[in-house]
Amino acid sequence: EDQVTQSPEALRLQEGESSSLNCSYTVSGLRGLFWYRQDPGKGPEFLFTLYSAGEEKEKERLKATLTKKESFLHITAPKPEDSATYLCAVPPGTGRRALTFGSGTRLQVQP
Protein backbone atom coordinates (compact mmCIF):
# COMPACT_ATOMS: atom_id res chain seq x y z
CA GLU A 1 0.00 0.00 0.00
CA ASP A 2 1.31 3.44 -0.93
CA GLN A 3 2.26 5.73 1.94
CA VAL A 4 3.04 9.43 1.88
CA THR A 5 4.40 11.32 4.88
CA GLN A 6 4.93 15.08 5.05
CA SER A 7 6.97 17.10 7.48
CA PRO A 8 6.87 19.35 9.28
CA GLU A 9 3.18 19.39 10.13
CA ALA A 10 3.28 23.16 10.49
CA LEU A 11 5.87 25.80 9.68
CA ARG A 12 5.97 29.45 10.55
CA LEU A 13 8.38 31.67 8.62
CA GLN A 14 9.17 35.33 8.53
CA GLU A 15 8.76 37.01 5.18
CA GLY A 16 11.95 36.41 3.18
CA GLU A 17 13.05 33.43 5.30
CA SER A 18 13.63 30.51 2.91
CA SER A 19 12.89 26.92 3.93
CA SER A 20 11.97 23.48 2.62
CA LEU A 21 9.03 21.13 3.07
CA ASN A 22 9.56 17.38 2.94
CA CYS A 23 7.44 14.64 1.40
CA SER A 24 8.65 11.06 1.80
CA TYR A 25 6.89 8.21 0.08
CA THR A 26 6.76 4.44 -0.12
CA VAL A 27 5.30 3.14 -3.36
CA SER A 28 5.53 0.00 -5.45
CA GLY A 29 7.39 1.62 -8.31
CA LEU A 30 7.77 5.37 -8.72
CA ARG A 31 4.94 6.67 -10.89
CA GLY A 32 5.48 10.32 -10.22
CA LEU A 33 4.61 12.77 -7.52
CA PHE A 34 2.31 15.81 -7.38
CA TRP A 35 2.43 18.94 -5.28
CA TYR A 36 -0.70 20.91 -4.46
CA ARG A 37 -1.46 24.09 -2.56
CA GLN A 38 -4.68 24.33 -0.54
CA ASP A 39 -6.04 27.57 0.85
CA PRO A 40 -8.59 27.45 3.70
CA GLY A 41 -12.04 26.54 2.43
CA LYS A 42 -10.78 25.82 -1.09
CA GLY A 43 -9.88 22.75 -3.08
CA PRO A 44 -6.26 21.74 -3.68
CA GLU A 45 -4.63 23.71 -6.48
CA PHE A 46 -2.22 21.73 -8.64
CA LEU A 47 1.35 23.05 -8.62
CA PHE A 48 3.82 20.51 -10.01
CA THR A 49 4.29 17.04 -11.38
CA LEU A 50 7.62 15.27 -10.95
CA TYR A 51 8.10 11.99 -12.77
CA SER A 52 11.66 10.87 -12.24
CA ALA A 53 14.40 11.12 -9.65
CA GLY A 54 16.55 14.17 -10.21
CA GLU A 55 13.76 16.16 -11.83
CA GLU A 56 13.13 19.75 -10.71
CA LYS A 57 10.25 22.14 -11.39
CA GLU A 58 9.99 25.83 -10.54
CA LYS A 59 7.16 28.31 -10.24
CA GLU A 60 7.80 31.78 -8.86
CA ARG A 61 9.25 31.28 -5.36
CA LEU A 62 8.64 27.53 -5.31
CA LYS A 63 10.94 24.78 -6.50
CA ALA A 64 10.11 21.09 -6.25
CA THR A 65 12.71 18.35 -6.40
CA LEU A 66 12.44 14.57 -6.43
CA THR A 67 14.67 11.72 -5.28
CA LYS A 68 13.91 8.00 -5.20
CA LYS A 69 12.44 8.24 -1.71
CA GLU A 70 11.35 11.81 -1.14
CA SER A 71 10.49 15.17 -2.59
CA PHE A 72 11.23 18.65 -1.34
CA LEU A 73 9.34 21.85 -1.91
CA HIS A 74 11.77 24.71 -1.50
CA ILE A 75 10.33 28.13 -0.79
CA THR A 76 12.69 31.00 -1.52
CA ALA A 77 12.08 34.39 0.10
CA PRO A 78 8.44 33.63 0.87
CA LYS A 79 5.74 36.26 1.05
CA PRO A 80 2.59 36.27 3.23
CA GLU A 81 0.54 35.22 0.20
CA ASP A 82 2.46 31.94 0.15
CA SER A 83 0.69 30.98 3.38
CA ALA A 84 -1.34 27.82 2.72
CA THR A 85 -1.32 24.08 3.28
CA TYR A 86 0.97 22.28 0.87
CA LEU A 87 0.05 18.71 -0.03
CA CYS A 88 1.99 16.10 -1.90
CA ALA A 89 0.39 13.07 -3.51
CA VAL A 90 1.35 10.02 -5.53
CA PRO A 91 -0.66 8.71 -8.49
CA PRO A 92 -2.83 5.62 -8.05
CA GLY A 93 -1.22 2.25 -8.45
CA THR A 94 -2.43 -0.50 -10.75
CA GLY A 95 -6.16 -1.04 -10.38
CA ARG A 96 -6.61 1.93 -8.11
CA ARG A 97 -8.09 5.34 -8.81
CA ALA A 98 -7.43 7.57 -5.82
CA LEU A 99 -4.42 9.77 -5.30
CA THR A 100 -2.63 9.01 -2.04
CA PHE A 101 -2.10 12.30 -0.23
CA GLY A 102 0.17 13.22 2.60
CA SER A 103 -1.36 15.00 5.58
CA GLY A 104 0.09 18.33 4.45
CA THR A 105 2.30 21.08 5.82
CA ARG A 106 0.55 24.22 7.06
CA LEU A 107 2.78 27.13 6.13
CA GLN A 108 2.34 30.54 7.69
CA VAL A 109 4.49 33.42 6.44
CA GLN A 110 4.46 36.44 8.69
CA PRO A 111 5.18 39.96 7.37
Partner 1 sequence: SQTIHQWPATLVQPVGSPLSLECTVEGTSNPNLYWYRQAAGRGLQLLFYSVGIGQISSEVPQNLSASRPQDRQFILSSKKLLLSDSGFYLCAWSGSSFSNQPQHFGDGTRLSIL
Size (the chain), residues? 111
Question: What are the CA-CA distances from residue 18 to residues 53, 61, 63 (Å)?
Answer: 23, 9, 11
Q: What phi and psi values does residue 80 have, to the nearest 5 degrees?
A: -55, -30
> Considering the complex, what minimum distance in angstroms separates the CB of residue 16 from partner 1?
30
> Considering the complex, what minimum distance in angstroms separates the CB of residue 76 from partner 1?
23
Contact 98, 89 (CB under 8 A): no
Q: Which residues, listed in sequence order, are joined to residue 12 by a DSSP beta bridge?
A: 108
For residues 32 and 83, which CB has a smaller minimum distance to partner 1 in the complex? 32
Q: Which residues bind partner 1 (CB under 8 A)?
A: 31-32, 34, 36, 41-46, 49, 51, 91-92, 97-99, 101-103
> Considering the complex, what minimum distance in angstroms separates the CB of residue 80 from partner 1?
21
For residues 41 and 111, which CB has a smaller minimum distance to partner 1 in the complex? 41
